[in-house]
Amino acid sequence: MRRPLHICFLITLVASGTTPLCSLAGSQQAPPAAITPVKPTVETLLAEGNLLLEQNKLGPAQSDFDAAVMQARVEKNVRGEAEAHRGLGRIFIQEAKYDLAQSEIEQAVALFQTASDPLGIARGHEQMGLLAHHRGDWKAAREQLHLALEGFKAQGAASEEANVILSLSFDPEMGSVQKQELIQQALSIARQVGNKRLEGRLFQHQGDAHFTGGDFSAALEDLQRSAALLEEAGDRFSLARVWVSLGRLHRAHGYPDRAVDFYRRALKIQEEVGDQQGVIQSINAIGVAYGAMERHREALEYYQQALDLARKTGSQRLINFQLGNLANAYLNVHEYVRGAAMLEEVLAQKPDPGIAQIRYRQLSEAYSNLGHQAQALEAASRSVEIAQAGGSLEFLHKALKGRAEVKQKMGNAAEALEDVHAALDVIEKLRSRLVPIDFLKRGFGDSHQELFSLAIELHHQLHQDRQGLKIAEEGRARAFLDLLATRQNQNQTAGESTTIRRVESELKGKEKSPASAPGSSGSSLVMRGADPELKSSVSAVPLDVEHMVATAGRLHSTILSYWVATEATFVGVVRSDGTISTTRVEVSAPRLAQLVRQTWGAADGLGERGETSGSAPNKNNFVKVRGGRELPLVSRGGEVLALSEAQKKAWRELYRLLIQPVRDRLPAGRGSLLTIIPHGPLFRLSFAALLDERDRYLIETYALHYAPSAAIFQFTEEKRHPRTEGPPHYLFVAVPDGFSMRSAEKILPPLPGVRLEVAAISRELAPGSFTLLIGENARKGKVLEALREKTVIHFATHALLRDEQALNSFLALRSFQGADPAESRLTTQEIYGLDLQADLVVLSACRTGLGKITGDGIMGLTRAFFYAGTPSIIASLWDVADEPTVLLMSQFYRSWQPNRDKSRALRAAQLHLLHKLRSGDVSLQTPQGPLTLPENPVFWAGFALIGEP
């Protein structure tokens, strides 16, 4: 048995008089200087070097190969010296030291030829082919790889044959069909020989090919299989490349922040194993993701870092690629002259077609912003031509959009619209191939809102109102429609794999266990298979204009459909008589968002996150009581409510912008119904409080209800009446106690009004028609059991909204001492798992109608209750005051009974409270004396009806 290599290399220690302890263990032998060490053989050094290289220990592997070269020359072992040079070449390729790699591989090939070693010659040709590939010389790469392929076939080296086939499939000029044929051929060989590592690499390449072709669902499946195989094979080098591919898949679905997590995981591995080209790829990918998040200065820094590393490789192909990305970063920070010059330099090097079409598109943007529209159109057209020839759906819609924007600037709206519709057709093809998970579909929709805005703008310019309205409907709430259709069809498919879930959990620093089924107490309400990833396997069709007209007729309503673009807002009006119109309003998205914020009723401005804590009251947040003392107005959520003149100005301005331009197309009859389809910041706006020039609120003229899209009514229609036998039955869940957040330093105050609220409502109902769960009885198990077959479900409690963790938003329930915190809340995730029969759910708590705004609507409690089967929801748009809410809710139930109009009942309740406030008839008892509330929308306009009216 040979001695371990680290012992054999102690010659220098012996020569210097240092005694290796292991050579003298238990022995009284002669002095160490008299011992003649055994030199390792060439075969030993090669075996150790290859093992270290497989373990990505590049430094020690290089030492072994260097030693093998010297030893082979001593032994006149030509084949051994050739293998050592080839090993050094492999290391230098991995380190992106291409000049050194070429020198070593050329020596290896020459020595293999001298030794008449056909297998070695084939291996040398393979390495020369890979080197040429990395340098971007695909003509030389093809020649060398085909020579290698012939050699491996002749020698019966199946695994190496499959490896070469894999390398050939990377040819950028190869068609997708031929590429797939090669991948399948290599997969067949890999399976025959049981090479899981090679099989894993092939699945990754196939997944990347599916991604480029726009089949994201197939791409995810292949990448999952690749990750599993590579983990089993222990191939961290290749596994890191899979993480990059998974990151790119998340970015394409609109989640660049999640993509960065994957990229950083890959980068860490690549730095550890010395994969310099992989390091460059991951740093570049982080730059791409930051660009997608519009963090352009940070993106520029990453691109510059990647370019600096690329220059060290000497690979002109890699340098050009990174130079192009850096140029695009300069465009994003408006340095168009600099960016254009760099792009021209890159294109002069004739990059691969897939890269060229991106650079032409970017160059077109630069020219266009510099005012050179003819040059911009030429570059954009070249980008479209290359993308069409390559069949890449992922890039084609971007190229078409870029050309459309140039044509629009040139005043050719009709031709621009042709390109936009071609791009939208591509988007629809991609949409049908998305990963069947709700959050990924939502992200995809978010990432293409600008294209829909451009289409709506162009249709408006061409006076094509019906077509523009159709496009607006196609651009909103599509993931939600898919989700509802999936639930309707009861055809749920698998979500993300355990691999991705585990990776994302590790990235957050903790392992996540599989989610338990919501409501696991055994309630029949639990839908089997419900999980936090919300499987969405159906691709639903949005409503066309004719069906929107029919919907308006069924609802006896006029539909107001809003679309908020960056620079303007579009208001579509759909009447039941078939009259259609669209009006462009000169108000930008940022301005609308600012106005909406000014209407909010919390002194903290209702921050973007749901978990905001109260801020110090200012002079506008007090009401005088007897004796001249001033008291702050506090909401149900413990926030200080804001009352100011700025609010009234905002209400008036919003009326002027959103209602007045279309007022002549709205119904004349008082109490007529308006169906509001909001978009963007308008999801946070209570239209009821919009104030006209005569100081009349919109609710005084119309009844209102809201929906994230017109198409949602095709799912709610069949559920709009009670689906249980017998008379209606109500469930009231009231939690008057305070609520302490263990994880956040926040204590939600007691709600004494909720007990009064449910008591007042129950007095309006027939005895025996309702169930009350109050205080101690409002425990999770009891609540879940009581939800079954109720006509109306009313929660009067605290709510907490978490924008970035929407599934963890919750309604507070009664907990008991020592209980799991999860028992004290009904989460959004659990609501998605319910199967409700209720005709109406009332969420009498703060901000229950809010959540993160996306192109798909609001991600919050209301979305979950729709999915659970409820056609109508009453929810709040801001923090609501406890006592006025009691009056509002009791009046609502007094005005409404099941099978009647909920929207008009809510209007009646709001008008009743409005009139009482105007008359000074709403007072609070405080320790300082009675407090009379002033008239302000903050007290009565916060609740909105969403869904069926």
CA distance 165 to 567: 51
What residue type is assigned to position 784 of the chain?
Answer: L
- Looking at 129-138, 520-529, 764-773, which range is the least confident one? 520-529
Segment 825-841 shows an average pLDDT of 90
What residue type is assigned to position 7 of the chain?
Answer: I
Segment 682-708 shows an average pLDDT of 96
Segment 811-839 shows an average pLDDT of 81
Segment 43-66 shows an average pLDDT of 88
What residue type is assigned to position 750 of the chain?
Answer: P
* Per-residue model confidence (pLDDT) at position 4: 33
Residue 613: band (very low, low, confident or very high) from pLDDT cuts 50, 70, 90: very low
* Per-residue model confidence (pLDDT) at position 739: 63
What SS3 class is residue 931?
strand
| Percentage of the chain lying above the pLDDT 70 cut | 84
What's CA 714's distance to the chain center, in Å? 27
Average pLDDT, the chain: 84
What SS3 class is residue 704?
strand
Segment 305-333 shows an average pLDDT of 90
Residue 878: band (very low, low, confident or very high) from pLDDT cuts 50, 70, 90: confident
* Per-residue model confidence (pLDDT) at position 2: 32
Closest C-alpha to 81, from 73, 93, 89:
73
Q: Does the pLDDT value for residue 743 go beyond 70?
A: no
Residue 928: band (very low, low, confident or very high) from pLDDT cuts 50, 70, 90: low
What's CA 389's distance to the chain center, in Å? 30
Residue 88: band (very low, low, confident or very high) from pLDDT cuts 50, 70, 90: very high
Helices (H), 613-722: 645-658, 713-716
Residue 350: band (very low, low, confident or very high) from pLDDT cuts 50, 70, 90: confident
Q: Does the pLDDT value for residue 276 go beyond 90?
A: no
* Per-residue model confidence (pLDDT) at position 632: 57
Q: Does the pLDDT value for residue 759 go beyond 50?
A: yes
pLDDT digits (tens, 9 = 90+) for 481-526: 898 988 887 634 433 444 444 444 444 443 333 333 333 333 334 3
Count H helices, E strands: the chain? 39, 22
Q: List CB contacts of 54: < 8 A, sequence separation 6 or more.
A: none
Q: Are strands 792-796 and 730-734 parallel, antiparallel or unpaired?
A: parallel
Segment 345-356 shows an average pLDDT of 88
Distances from the Cα of 703 to the Cαs of 371, 671, 689, 941, in angstroms? Answer: 49, 5, 12, 12
Q: What is the H or E stretch that residue 731 is in?
A: strand 730-734
Q: Does the pLDDT value for residue 219 go beyond 60?
A: yes
* Per-residue model confidence (pLDDT) at position 899: 66
CA distance 396 to 429: 12
CA distance 485 to 538: 6
What SS3 class is residue 884?
helix
| Percentage of the chain lying above the pLDDT 90 cut | 53
490-496: long-range pairs with CB below 8 Å, 24+: 491/537, 491/538, 492/529, 492/535, 492/537, 493/436, 493/535, 493/537, 494/535, 495/436, 495/437, 495/531, 495/533, 495/534, 495/535, 496/220, 496/435, 496/437, 496/533
Helices (H), 333-437: 336-348, 353-369, 373-390, 393-409, 413-431
Segment 857-869 shows an average pLDDT of 90
Question: What phi and psi, each to the nearest 5 degrees, are found at residue 556?
Answer: 55, 50
* Per-residue model confidence (pLDDT) at position 55: 74
Q: List CB contacts of 48: < 8 A, sequence separation 6 or more.
A: 5, 40, 64
Q: List CB contacts of 270: < 8 A, sequence separation 6 or more.
A: 237, 240, 276, 278, 279, 282
Q: List CB contacts of 150: < 8 A, sequence separation 6 or more.
A: 122
Q: What is the H or E stretch that residue 54 is in?
A: helix 42-54
pLDDT digits (tens, 9 = 90+) for 554-569: 999 999 999 999 999 9
Question: What phi and psi, each to the nearest 5 degrees, are found at residue 597?
Answer: -60, -35
Q: Which residue has the higher pLDDT, 447 or 17?
A: 447
Are 37 and 14 a contacting pair, CB within 8 Å? yes
pLDDT digits (tens, 9 = 90+) for 148-162: 999 999 999 998 998
DSSP letters, 208-225, are HHHHHTT-HHHHHHHHHH
* Per-residue model confidence (pLDDT) at position 15: 31
Are 282 and 308 a contacting pair, CB within 8 Å? no
Distance in Å from the first CA to the final CA of the chain: 86
Q: Which residue has the tokens 């890159």?
A: 346
* Per-residue model confidence (pLDDT) at position 609: 30
* Per-residue model confidence (pLDDT) at position 752: 81
Closest C-alpha to 47, from 59, 65, 63:
65
* Per-residue model confidence (pLDDT) at position 843: 95
* Per-residue model confidence (pLDDT) at position 420: 97
